[in-house]
């Protein structure tokens, strides 16, 4: 039997049963029919879609109906920076999805940096901490190749002239009972943390406010953020806006195994975008949970289990876009033809190639930050 | 026995016992010794001080200690505009006090317009309503003669770039339990109303943030607003700022009698700054509660009671600055030499003279609004 698991914006623990989560959260499965419908517009499907790294959604059919009527959508996602927090591979998944969707649908992208969120939730985090981390995080996002003419960064404390007023409109429709139930809050929560979900709702309709017409919104995000949008999806029609559509991704597992999610707080078992080739190699070799056998002989004889092997899963979920190559790796590893060390070598090479390019672009991004910050 | 009374930022009912309020709120009486100390600096005392319209305070002695050391204070008060709300004479009391203190102490004045407050607390009030009313209210404030070079208007939704970040710092230190206890909130309050008190705290230390040094603050206000500042006075030292000093005024009674406070919602028994001479005359004649006798004969014989007579109280609290003249009116009315109709005539003339001048200046204020809005 699977262990208990818990997924909220503030906690993701245990071995997550995503089918159960679909029922619990009341979201819809991202099924093949819907993927085909997306493919009609995009010609190809990103591996995150083909391989169900994005596994669930809300209102994608409605979004495509609108798109097909000529009512284009914009994209919204976000990043809550914390004290010294660094971006890891797991963070990149929704962002890479956004970049791909931006290209395929020529969509405007609104990126929120709620620099007050972690400050409000964590006693030892200051606003100076989150400000510093926000800048670093922007570099990672820019490095992914977003179109600067169509991408707008919103920083909660710096764009509050635009956002606070709209957040008040949202807040007026949400009682403390609701946030208690959604986030497990109680009377000892601080009043900033209680208000915060209203700020997270704002970018989902701010472009509609600015343009003076109702524009559909699509939010690709980690499924743990869904509770915020369960609330804001209730509120937005009351303010005269569409409910945002949502695409939910599963978590990239931490190196040590398939449960939970990669976490920046567990330095050893997360791969950061700023890691050196040496660090990546060491982390994979030392920590990546293996589905292989204890000895080379046993591996050759019995074969490994790619389904629980973290290195294989990273290839499947992120680093091997070629379906045929991936299939061959799967078969070779399962049959014992491929050893764990060989599988890890493939992954190390792939990650380091990705990071070398990413780090180069991340460096160049330092000159581009200003272009991305929304001038309201 | 006096009836039950209740004073919160959201309610002021019953016959208010101000001595009891001093104990309940834990504030200090504004006694003669302190008034003498203020007079040392101001040479004269405004009638609001001489006649104890300001009756209580927090930390005024500390504020004067700092002032005497050369550490000047700034002034802060505010006005929460509502749907179609108009300024009445009662509102003017803390503002006139601020203007007088600005002149006497050459103090900077920060005036907050929390345009989200009534929106958050009242179901039928929109942000368009409060925006419109805020503009009208600014005219009344400017008309009082504030120095445009030393007076700064802060509008919560328009200055949120400055204020929201600081409000988050306050909010992090306030739990829902605290606002529950202070304002009588419960789980069905909306999360904007729960957060709001953090915004009201901000102007009490924003000048210190902007100037990069700790500056003492004095807040003249109606005593009903004290609960907000009981909370923020707890929080501000935790953020490294002085607790603001406070001067509390009693409420100007409504025309119909000495209990409660003049309320904009009771059109007939409030005198608005935009009332015509005719309206003032009619309201006073028809509604001003009289301490006089039922007939002229009885009045001549027994005399009236100025202590419960609203017209006399308005002269005492607001419109007759000359102590000798006031004393004579008191004696003449009490002895029966002065009739209720004569007393009312004196008041009507005084109010209309004040309003004629105010309305002229209010008209001129339309060209000055922009000068007063803080350019941050």
d(CA A57, CA A73): 15
Q: What is the pTM of this model?
A: 0.94
Collapsed DSSP state (helix, strand, coil) of residue A33:
helix
Q: Supply the mean pLDDT for chain B.
A: 95
Does the structure show a pLDDT above 60 at B103? Answer: yes
Tokens of A289: 């949970």
Which residues of A are less than 8 Å from B189 in CB distance?
175-176
Q: Cβ A188–B179 below 8 Å, yes or no?
A: no
How many alpha carbons lie under 13 Å from residue A332 in its C-beta half-sphere?
A: 15
Report the run of H or E that residue A166 belongs to, with start and end. Answer: helix A160-171
Helix ranges restricted to H, B202-322 = 206-211, 226-235, 277-287, 296-302, 310-314
**Sheet-wide strand order for B151-155:** B28-29, B54-58, B245-249, B217-222, B74-78, B109-113, B151-155
- How far is Cα B323 from Cα B339, in angstroms, rounded to an integer? 20
B181 in reach of chain A (CB within 8 A): no
Q: Which of B376, B358, B181 is nearest to B277 (CA)?
A: B358
- Residue B182: CB atoms within 10 A of its CB come to 17
* pLDDT score of A3: 59
pLDDT for position A190 = 98
Task: Tell whether A231 lies on the interface with B, counting CB pairs under 8 A.
Answer: no
Contact status, residue A80 vs residue A9, Cβ threshold 8 Å: no
CA distance A334 to A327: 11
B212 Ramachandran zone, left/alpha/beta (phi>0; psi -120 to 50): left
Question: Which chain B residues contact residue A161 at CB under 8 A?
Answer: 157-161
**Of chain B residues 110-129, which have a CB less than 8 A from chain A?**
116, 119-120, 127
Residue pair A298/A305 in contact (Cβ under 8 Å)? The answer is no
pLDDT at residue A259, as a whole number: 67
Q: What is the pLDDT of residues B228-280, one digit of tens each?
A: 999 999 999 999 999 999 999 999 999 988 666 777 777 788 999 999 999 99
Neighboring chain B residues of A117 at a CB cutoff of 8 Å? none
Which of A 196-215 lie inside 8 A of B, CB atoms? 197-198
**Touching check for A275 and chain B: CB below 8 Å?**
no
Q: Can you tell me the distance from the alpha carbon of A375 to that of B104, in angstroms, rounded to the nearest whole number?
A: 42
pLDDT band at B1 (very low <50, low <70, confident <90, very high): very low
Distance from CA of A11 to the nearest CA of B (A): 20
Kindly state the tokens that stand for A193: 């943390």
Mutate to test the interface with A, among B130, B191, B200 (most CBs of A within 10 A): B191
Is B3 a residue whose pLDDT tops 70? no
Provide, as residue numbers in chain B, all residues whose Cβ is less than 8 Å from the Cβ of A173.
190
ipTM of the complex, rounded to two decimals: 0.94
Which residues of chain A are modeled with pLDDT < 50?
1
Is the per-residue pLDDT at B165 higher than 90? yes
Q: Indicate the residue of B116, B169, B189 with minimum beta-carbon distance to A168.
A: B116
Higher pLDDT, B224 or B242: B242
Count how many residues are written for chain A. 376
Place of tokens 């906690």: A11
Tokens 């407050």 correspond to B117
Q: Specify the DSSP class assigned to residue B12.
A: E
Distance CA A48, CA A94 (A): 9
pLDDT at A311: 97
Task: Find the CB nearest B194 among A120, A127, A191.
Answer: A191
Per-residue pLDDT of B35-51, as tens digits, reads 999 999 999 999 999 99
Average pLDDT (B173-200) is 97
Residues from chain B that touch A127, judged by Cβ atoms under 8 A, are 165, 168-169
More confident residue, A363 or B15: A363
* B325-B326-B328-B332 Cα dihedral, nearest 10 degrees: 130
Percent of chain B with pLDDT over 70: 98
Instruction: Give B14 to chain A, closest Cα distance, Å.
Output: 30
pLDDT at B84: 85
| Cβ atoms of A137 and A88 closer than 8 Å | no
Region label for B32, one of left (φ > 0), alpha (ψ between -120 and 50) or beta (otherwise): alpha
CB proximity B190 to A under 8 Å: yes
Neighbours of A235 (CB within 10 A): 22
Q: Is A53 on the interface with B (CB under 8 A)?
A: no
Give the pLDDT confidence score for residue B264 in this predicted structure: 72
Query: Phi, psi at residue B245, to the nearest 5°?
Result: -80, 155
Q: What pLDDT score was predicted for residue A1?
A: 45
Query: Residue A174: which of B164, B175, B191 has the nearest Cβ?
Result: B191
Question: Which residue from B158, B172, B197 is facing A120, i.e. has the nearest CB?
Answer: B172
Instruction: Give the distance from residue A79's alpha carbon to the nearest chain B alpha carbon, in angstroms.
Output: 18
Nearest to A194 among B120, B169, B194 (CB): B194
- CB-based contact, A228 to chain B, within 8 Å: no
Among B172, B196, B197, the residue to mutate for chain A (most A Cβ within 10 A): B172
Which pLDDT band holds residue B162 (cuts at 50, 70, 90)?
A: very high
B74 in Cβ contact with B108 (< 8 Å): yes
């Amino acid at each position: 039997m699977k262990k208990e698991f818990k997924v909220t914006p503030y906690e993701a623990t245990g071995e997550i049963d995503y089918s159960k989560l679909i029922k619990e959260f009341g979201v819809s499965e991202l099924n093949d029919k819907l993927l085909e419908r997306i493919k009609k517009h995009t010609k190809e499907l990103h591996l995150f879609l083909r391989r169900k790294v994005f596994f669930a959604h809300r209102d994608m059919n409605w979004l495509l109906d609108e798109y097909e009527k000529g009512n284009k959508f914009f994209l919204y996602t976000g990043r809550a920076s914390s004290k010294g927090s660094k971006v890891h591979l797991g963070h990149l998944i929704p962002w890479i999805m956004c970049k791909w969707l931006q290209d395929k649908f020529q969509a405007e992208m609104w990126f929120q940096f709620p620099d007050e969120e972690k400050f409000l939730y964590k006693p030892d985090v200051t606003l100076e901490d989150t400000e510093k981390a926000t800048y670093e995080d922007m570099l990672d996002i820019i490095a992914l190749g977003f179109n600067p003419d169509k991408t707008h960064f919103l920083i909660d404390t710096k764009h509050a002239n635009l956002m606070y007023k709209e957040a008040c409109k949202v807040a007026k429709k949400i009682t403390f009972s609701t946030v208690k139930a959604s986030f497990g809050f109680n009377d000892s929560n601080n009043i900033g943390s209680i208000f915060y979900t209203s700020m997270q709702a704002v970018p989902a309709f701010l472009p509609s406010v600015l343009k003076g017409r109702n524009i559909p919104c699509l939010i690709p995000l980690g499924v743990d953020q869904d509770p915020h949008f369960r609330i804001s999806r209730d509120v937005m029609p009351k303010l005269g806006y569409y409910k945002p559509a949502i695409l939910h991704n599963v978590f990239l597992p931490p190196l040590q195994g398939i449960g939970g999610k990669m976490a920046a707080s567990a330095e050893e078992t997360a791969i950061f975008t700023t890691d050196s080739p040496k660090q990546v190699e060491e982390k994979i070799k030392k920590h990546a949970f293996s589905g292989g056998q204890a000895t080379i002989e046993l591996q050759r004889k019995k074969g490994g289990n790619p389904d629980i092997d973290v290195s294989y899963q990273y290839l499947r979920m992120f680093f091997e876009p070629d379906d045929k190559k991936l299939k061959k790796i799967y078969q070779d590893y399962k049959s014992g033809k491929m050893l764990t060390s060989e599988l890890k070598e493939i992954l190390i090479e792939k990650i380091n190639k990705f990071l070398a390019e990413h780090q180069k672009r991340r460096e160049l991004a330092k000159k581009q930050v200003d272009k991305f910050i929304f001038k309201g």
